[in-house]
Amino acid sequence: MSERDRKYTVLFVDDEPRVTSALKAIFRREYEVSIANSGIEALSIMESSRFDVVVSDQRMPGMLGNQFLAQVTKLYPQTMRILLTGFMDKQAIVDSINEGEIYRFINKPWRNDEMREVVAEAALASEIPALPTVSDTQEASAQFKKTLSSHSTKTSADSDSKTKDHALLMMEQAKDIRHQIRRFCSDHSIMIYGTQNIEQAVAAATSRKNIGVAVIELSEDTRTALQTINLLKRARPEIITIALTEEFDAHTAVDLINQGQVFKYLAKPIDLAGFQTTIENAFVRHRFLKKHKAAHKRFKVEKTKGSVVSGLQEMFGRLVGNTDKNSATT
């Protein structure tokens, strides 16, 4: 059997045997299915077998699902990761975003059609390279650090040239946080586009192709913020989004992955040491996605519905059209 003809491999992990048996029965005709009843058992199986997709329950004794998937991320980054969530443990869900890099959350009890669709998408995406190459990572990290160390000795013209590939979009209402991020960007020679509302954010993302990272606050109108993140990700999938919040929420965290594929979900006020590492890694990922467009499949988002999204899509299309016309005449 050729590599192209082989069945995709899926590992289902749940501490309840009836659950893993049910999942195996659903998928065994289309996939090569393995099952495990704990994270430890699953890691042992993965030592000798390659898996395209891993679907894990969250609440398991000994090792929680998010802890297991964090290990999978480090050891087997090519494997796509899906988390089943029956009980919404807020911190565990947040950790699964920041450490496990989940492709999707699926609620228990699941719908078979939804599960089939998500697993099929994940299986196809597993063929795409998972991470930047070592050389890409080293190059991007070295350039970021070089920019930081040389900032104070550069002229304004040199600084403008240096920052053209490191642009950040910010949508944040709190003045102290805005100032904190602006100071950080200034110290690290990152160009920043501050926006106050959705329309400004969409306009900036459309017209400023050098924007690689978006830092978006989740204000009281969380739903609108989520729809904004979703639209930006669908329109500019190479933009890496970081969500800021005053207080973590499990349901919002699930939506941030399923609808926005956010890179990190961070609490305010910002921890600058951790923020620097996050921004550096975000730009590394942006450069990789910009160069390897096929990798966008690994970060596909669900489509959202509603009048806000419809209005934003219309505005986005109008802005894109104007940008294309301007480019054609210059």
Q: Which domains can be identified in the chain, with CATH numbers?
A: 9-125 (3.40.50.2300), 134-329 (3.40.50.2300)
Q: What's the pLDDT at 37?
A: 96
Angle between helices 198-207 and 222-235 (to 10 degrees): 10
pLDDT class of 207 with cuts at 50, 70, 90: confident
- Residue 327: per-residue pLDDT: 35
276 contacts 249 by C-beta, under 8 angstroms: no
pLDDT at 33: 97
| Residue 63 pLDDT level (bands cut at 50, 70, 90) | very high
Range with the lowest mean pLDDT among 179-183, 241-245, 301-305? Answer: 301-305
Q: Extract the tokens encoding 227.
A: 């729809």
Residue 206: predicted pLDDT: 82
Q: How confident is the model at residue 320 (pLDDT cuts 50, 70, 90)?
A: very low
- Give the list of residues 6+ apart from residue 295 with CB closer than 8 angstroms, or none: 128, 129, 288, 289
Locate the DSSP E strands across the chain.
9-13, 32-36, 53-57, 80-85, 104-107, 167-171, 191-195, 211-217, 240-245, 264-267
Encode pLDDT of 110-167 as tens digits. Answer: 999 999 999 999 999 999 987 665 555 556 566 656 655 554 444 444 444 444 568 9
What average pLDDT does this structure show over 52-79?
Answer: 94
**Per-position DSSP letters for 77-119, written without gaps between them:** TTSEEEEEESS--HHHHHHHHHTT--SEEEESSPPHHHHHHHH
Q: Is the pLDDT of residue 275 over 70?
A: yes
pLDDT category at 200 given cuts 50, 70, 90 is confident
- Strands of 264-267's sheet in order across: 191-195, 167-171, 211-217, 240-245, 264-267
**pLDDT per residue as tens digits for the range 77-120:** 999 999 998 777 888 889 889 988 899 999 989 999 999 999 99
